[in-house]
Amino acid sequence: MNTILINRKVDYAIRCLVYLAKQKPAQIVTTAELSRRLRISRPFIAKIFQLLVRQGIVEGEKGKGGGFRLKNRQVSLAKIIRLLDPNLALNKCLKKGFHCFMREECPVHYILCSMQRELFQRLDKIQLSGLTNKIGRNKR
């Protein structure tokens, strides 16, 4: 059975950004610290952060004592997901550019479309700043 999945890049980016959001506003965090604390490879973090810097989500400090800090604690999960995985969809029929020959006759397409819209509306309301106190509460 297929499941709805966010990719590893999105998952790791959200983890890193929540970690940054927990820090004091001016505090710099290195990729080494993120890697150690979150158990994510440094090269993967560096690759993700290149995009996040270009998009203005984080700012980087070069040189000795350099690292990253969050530029905006009010960024939503939906924005992060859209930046890192713009084609995320509940089903392939909802992906941009995909044309399903059954679209007009398929009763499920419209339900999935509505569900995806509602999902992103909810994710738009969840900001990084609101996730910092939720860590550790999701024990299964």
Ordered by start, the domain boundaries in the chain are: 8-131
Alpha carbon separation from 64 to 17, 49, 67, 76, 138 (Å, rounded): 22, 18, 9, 31, 36
Residue 81: per-residue pLDDT = 93
16: buried, middle or exposed (CB in 10 Å: 19+, 13-18, 0-12)?
A: buried
Residue 134, pLDDT score: 61
Q: Which neighbouring-strand residues pair with 67?
A: 61
What is the pTM assigned to this prediction? 0.82
CATH-assigned architecture of domain 8-131: Orthogonal Bundle (1.10)
Q: Write out pLDDT tens, residues 63-95.
A: 888 899 999 888 999 999 999 988 888 877 777
Residue 39 in tokens: 């158990």
Low-confidence ranges of the chain (pLDDT < 50): 1-2, 137-140
